[in-house]
Structure 1
Amino acid sequence: MRFPSVVFLAALSVSAIGVPVMAQEAPKAQPPVMTRPDGATVPLEVTPPPAPLPPNRVILQVGEIALTAGQLEQILEAYSEAQRVYVNGPGRPQFIQQLIRVLMLSQEGKRRKLDETDRYRNQLTYSAAGILSNHTEEDIRKKIKIDDAMLEDYLKAHPLDYMQVRARHILIRTPGSSLPLEPGQKELTDAEALTKAQELRAKIVAGADFADVAKIESNDISTNTKGGDLGFFKRGQMAPSIEEAAFALKPGEISQPVKTSMGYTVIKVEEIKPVKSFEELRPDLERNLRNELTRKYVDDLKALTKIEIDPEFAAPRKGSFPVKPAQ
């Protein structure tokens, strides 16, 4: 588990600073249980999280630097959720030792007057700018006002991202497919498989029932007995080529043969409906719209900011770069 840089931790470390009574008639709550691999059911011991420490309480003293619980909480806000869980759990001893090392060496660096060097000041400037940049982006995102009308407009502009499709398909196997050849099945060339898929599509367009043709002709053994029924799926659940074709169709429409890693597939969309209701989608819609509006704000800000880039600096460099040896 990696943690933020020494400069980051040092900068933050030195700069911040009754149970309801149940009615007698109520049934007694049953303790939680778990099932072991051998099938036995045993009580599950649930340990409540410890109470948070007072924010002004000094939790670590290293030399002249005292770190409070409140300061540590602010430092951890820069971590991902997974890192915070790790630091507050099994990684706590490792994290404490890293804090000690960072605070100890930062004080040693001051005694050596390393904080007065241009190298330190330039690196600190960029590190501090990165922290302030993150805080600014977070503040922009929080202060964006979003109402239901905006969410509805966003949903209308991105309908397929929040829809699910029920479709059927007929798959014709091609050489190299992961699908095994069935007993007595002829190995078709790529061209022959494409021709067969096109002929089957023409047969269906002329009036044949898609499900009946799929039961007889489809090489997908997981769906052919169900008339090629793929069930409902949303974006990200199917191969990209199948997904692109299916979401481009209206109910009742049939695709041209689509090439996949297993062969050529002909797709028919049966039904399209929302993944969830508007209220259920609200958190996702608000998060995605907020992210989009934040990106737009930053892009607009960039357009208004004077930016000059040295063309020689911006040009890609060829060859290797000399590495300055450590001193």
Structure 2
Amino acid sequence: MKDDNVVVVIEGKEWKRSDLEMLIRAMRDTSIPQQFYGDKRGFLQVFARMVSLANEAEKQGLDKVDPHKWRLMYNRDLYLAQIYLAAKQNTIQVLPDEQKAYYEAHRADYSKAKVKVIYLAFNDTPMASADPKAKKPKTSAEAQKLANQVIQLARGGTDFGQLVQKYSDDADSKAKNGEFPVIQPGDNSLPTQIKSAVFALKPGQVSDAVRQTGGFWIFRLEEFVTSSFDEVRDDIYLTIQKERFQQWMDGKQKSLDVQFKDDKYLDYKSPIE
């Protein structure tokens, strides 16, 4: 559809196809595109009502009275600041040599640990079961004692996979003979205690029990694998770009011309009527 025809006239303003498409693209991070393409006529009816009401508000000067003028001012400045920051970050370029140098200096950050795991669940406050044959959950003390025994067996040479099948309470990893998703140093989805325990190991070593809510984790490190430069090139670009952007932001904050004059008001914690 190459013709740029007028699609609708709202309050005397002509809206061409290109105008509407640009408007909808500008709102792509909202539900507006779905509403528009789902029912264009219905959307334009609602849009026309909004435009008409906004025009009436301006005619009555509502955009220039309290509290509306302050909210409009704040929202306008906030939006302009956000789009300026996005544009500024996109201007920060990172050269290929800089990416390579960063990779060489931070190789450890791109290592991945392949591990196997045994999970021993516990519950110190279990609910009473109506089934007399139901398996009673371990207490934390019982799980800790069992964990120490399992670790001793694993470090003594017992096949870790066999220990997984005999003792682990984690169905997903147990079905894979203890295999666990690879662990990376910068993975914020995992607790620090787990990452610290894993990256302190050498291949073949078994960790101490790592206590988390509801259970103990025992890890065996299979191997460390370092991602190649090509695998992480894009991540490095974004990392350096973000670091430089933050440096620019810190400098911008320090250079702001802000002069506090009324300490009494600034230190008062409640609104002043």
TM-score normalised to the size of structure 1?
0.62
Structure with bigger RCO (C-alpha 8 Å, 6+ apart)? 2
Please name the residue that 2:155 is paired with.
Answer: 205
Aligned length: 263
Aligned-partner Cα distance in 1 for 2:201–2:39: 50
Pair 1:194 & 2:144 matched: yes
Pair 1:173 & 2:124 matched: no
C-alpha root-mean-square deviation of aligned residues, in Å?
4.0
Please name the residue that 2:249 is paired with.
Answer: 298
Superposed, 1:258-269 pairs within 5 Å as: 258-269=210-221
CA displacement 1:300-323 (0-9 Å, x = unmatched): 2111112346654576549xx99x
Aligned-partner Cα distance in 2 for 1:259–1:115: 58
Q: In terms of mean alpha carbon deviation, does 137-146 or 163-172 score higher? A: 163-172
Letter in 2 for 1:130: L
User: Paired residue for 1:271, among 210, 223, 242?
Assistant: 223
Aligned-partner Cα distance in 2 for 1:185–1:85: 53
Aligned-partner Cα distance in 2 for 1:59–1:314: 56
Letter in 2 for 1:270: E
CA displacement 1:127-176 (0-9 Å, x = unmatched): 33223212211220221111223334555676677554321122333226
Please name the residue that 1:151 is paired with.
Answer: 99
Superposed, 1:90-129 pairs within 5 Å as: 90=38, 92-117=40-65, 119-129=67-77
Q: In structure 2, do the counterparts of structure 1 residues 76 and 126 end up closer, same or farther at CA, with 3 Å as the change threshold?
A: farther
SS at match of 2:116: strand
Give the conservation status (yes or no) of the 8 Å contact 2:24–2:33. Answer: no
Q: How far off its partner does 1:264 sit?
A: 1.4
Q: In structure 2, do the counterparts of structure 1 residues 100 and 157 end up closer, same or farther at CA, with 3 Å as the change threshold?
A: farther
Q: In structure 2, do the counterparts of structure 1 residues 237 and 315 end up closer, same or farther at CA, with 3 Å as the change threshold?
A: same
Aligned-partner Cα distance in 1 for 2:85–2:52: 32
User: Paired residue for 2:11, among 38, 43, 63?
Assistant: 63
In terms of fraction of residues, the more helix-rich structure is: 2
Give the conservation status (yes or no) of the 8 Å contact 1:216–1:224. Answer: no
Q: In terms of mean alpha carbon deviation, does 284-293 or 133-142 score higher? A: 284-293
Pair 1:256 & 2:214 matched: no
SS at match of 1:200: helix
Q: In structure 2, do the counterparts of structure 1 residues 61 and 245 end up closer, same or farther at CA, with 3 Å as the change threshold?
A: farther
SS at match of 2:208: coil
CA displacement 1:100-124 (0-9 Å, x = unmatched): 1232123223332445546554443
**Unaligned 5+ runs, structure 1:** 1-50, 323-327
